[in-house]
Amino acid sequence: MSAIEEIKQKLDIVEYIGQFVTLKKVGRNFHALCPFHSEKSPSFVVSPERQLWHCFGACGEGGDVIKFVMEWENCTFGEALHILAPLANVKLDEISVNDQVWDERIKMLQVTALAADFFHYIFTQHRIGEAARRYVASRQVSASTIKAFRVGYAPDSWDSLSKFLRAKKIRNDVIVQTGLGTMGKHSAVYDRFRGRIMFPLTDTRGAIMGFSGRILNTKDKEAKYINTPETPLYHKRETLFGIEQASLAIRTKEEVIIMEGEFDVMMAHQFGYTQSVGIKGTALTTEQIHLLKRLTHTFIFCLDMDKAGTEAIKRGIERSQEYDLSLYVMRLSGGKDPADLLTSDPSAFKRAYKEKVSIYDFLLETSVARHDVTKVYGQKEVIDELAPVITTITNPVVYEFFIKKTAQATGTDIATLKDAIRIYRRTQRKKTPSTKLNTPAAHEHMAEDYAIALIVQSPQPAETIDIALEYLDFDSFTQPATGELIKELKAYLTNHESFPTGDAYISNPSLRPLFNRAFLIRVPLDSTRINTELKKIALTLKKQMLHKRIQDSPSSEETKKLVTALRSVEKELSVV
């Protein structure tokens, strides 16, 4: 048995996925809201018998436990194996994982790790880092915090890092690929980060994806902060500063404090708020929400209390609503940012944390404070500001509560406020075409998938498949793969009574996903109901096929025969 098969055999897929997703037993399978897209009704199904999962909703993803890790961790096949192998107590030393993306990723991660060590050494031990050390000390960052976050310094020279990496036998093209260098004239490589305090940007497991660099000499006419450019490793929209250090605390405390910059996050950890992360700006991205919601559903915004911060909070609502999160805001006193308040008045920060308010209360309070709600135009301004927020609220309890609070704060009648919201929603509604699959072909595809599910899950599959073939032949299906798979299943059942675990006996590998997915569709449990359901589907598909043939009939005589056949099918269908 290969190490890959051993991993899949030793790890129970329900137990593993259940660590991250709330699963509910429905029949022989487990159902949940899909963790890979937003939805209200569960379409994510896990089969303990087949050790497979599939989403029957918008994303349509599916596979085994390895594929789940690849999707969940956004990693390659090789990375997924290295994550799962220790859990299954399986050694990967004896196998060769044929994954070029994984191999390339490992090489790049080795380079970023070397760069982090170089920056950290310069900052902590070399005389070149003395000015950087003084500045960080002036921000009251402790030695233990510096070590925990691996703070570093990039020398103010053109090629210090590049020379160091080349001495480690790292090629110039790899230095450029990782975003640590830029290619100049005559193929010379120059350091991207120069004269900057360096902050490694990691994933939850501590792998360094990129860096953020703060200019040390603010007199230089350069950007205060620069990040690694987009690379195969680093994607700004997916990155959260401090996520490695905070992930355990986020799970334990069941909340995350969302801050803006590196010093905010480091000082928060230093003062015990270890569930804090930095979004590297004021805009919380959809990708960051997706990452954080794996750890908690309670988000606490702790951003600067200026206009930009308030707008960021509003955007956070818009992007977070579809995930049904609990959103709060910490109101920091004195207009200070989190790092400054923590160092100057930690008790005030603690008070802001304890007295955090719901995000809706915060927006209502700030809007009312800006306008005179004793006058009609002041009321209008508040309602106009809050209407975009109210229309994003999908939870009916939260919606009604906020409507009442807004009406009370503005002195507006609830019915009148709801009318105003309805008018706003109507004027803002985008006329986009429906994405729902309501076409006849879509319904036929669903019926064919259900037919296969009835066959493979039947206690007597040989009898069940014959019912389908009594009315349809292998070429009658709208999806060619359906007919091909049923042909394979029929051939297999000639010498077998049922379908064992696995799919190796399906000779065409392209048909295996369709076969495996069929075990995740819910069907009746007894043979009689299964056979009745399949007869209905077979007759319905035959009816639809006859309708199409009548439309395309080349002669009246042929049409007459088809109409007679159609009436016979309709009669039989009416009594099933």
Model pTM above 0.85: no
Same domain, 390 and 495: no
Residue with tokens 């306008």, as numbered in its chain:
371
Is residue 440's pLDDT more than 60?
A: no
Residue 468 has a pLDDT of 85
- Tell me what the mean pLDDT of segment 77-88 comes to: 88
Whether residue 350 sits in one domain with residue 248: yes
Number of H helices, E strands in the chain: 25, 16
* Residues 187-218 pLDDT 10s: 789 999 999 999 999 998 899 999 999 999 87
Number of domains in the chain: 5
Q: Is the pLDDT of residue 314 over 80?
A: no
**Which of helix, strand or coil describes residue 31?**
strand
Say whether both 226 and 249 belong to one domain.
no
Tell me: do 64 and 136 sit in the same domain: no
Give domain status of residue 94, yes or no. Answer: no
Judged against a pLDDT cut of 70, whether residue 353 lies above it is answered with yes
pLDDT of residue 474: 81
- Is position 367 within any domain? no
Q: Note the pLDDT of residue 441.
A: 58
**One domain, residues 107 and 184:** yes
Domain membership of residue 537 (yes or no) is yes
How far is Cα 167 from Cα 457, in angstroms, rounded to an integer?
Answer: 61
Residue 75 gets the label, from left (phi > 0), alpha (psi -120 to 50) or beta, of beta
What is the domain-level CATH number for residue 45?
Answer: 3.90.580.10
For residue 432, pLDDT beyond 50: no
Separation CA 69–CA 205 (nearest Å): 13
Q: Token pair of 70, please?
A: 């690849």
| Residue 107 and residue 228 in one domain | yes
Residue 364: inside a domain: no
Q: Is 568 helix (H, G, I), strand (E, B) or coil?
A: helix
Query: Does 76 lie in the same domain as 127?
Result: no
User: Which of 382, 402, 428 is the last residue before a domain boundary?
Assistant: 428
- Are 332 and 248 in a shared domain? yes
Predicted pLDDT at 153: 98
276 band by pLDDT with thresholds 50, 70 and 90: very high
Residues 450 and 536 in one domain: yes
Q: Would residue 238 count as lying in a domain? A: no
- What pLDDT score does 97 carry? 55
* 79 and 170 both lie in a single domain: no
Q: What is the mean pLDDT of the chain?
A: 87
Q: What token pair was written down for 562?
A: 């088809």
3-class state of residue 435 by DSSP: coil
Domain-embedded: residue 151: yes
Provide the CATH number for the domain around residue 180.
Answer: 3.90.980.10
Please indicate, yes or no, if residue 285 is contained in any of the structural domains.
yes
CATH code (residue 328):
3.40.1360.10
- Domain range spanning residue 390? 372-428
Q: Per-residue pLDDT for 301 more than 50?
A: yes
521 and 449 in a common domain: yes
How much of the chain, in percent, has pLDDT values that exceed 90?
43
pLDDT of residue 152: 98
Predicted confidence at residue 437, as pLDDT, reads 44
**Residue listed under structure tokens 């620069």:** 226
* Same domain flag for 214 and 257: no
The enclosing domain of 505 has a CATH number of 1.10.860
434 within some domain? no
Query: Packing angle between helix 527-551 and helix 461-471, nearest 10 degrees?
Result: 20
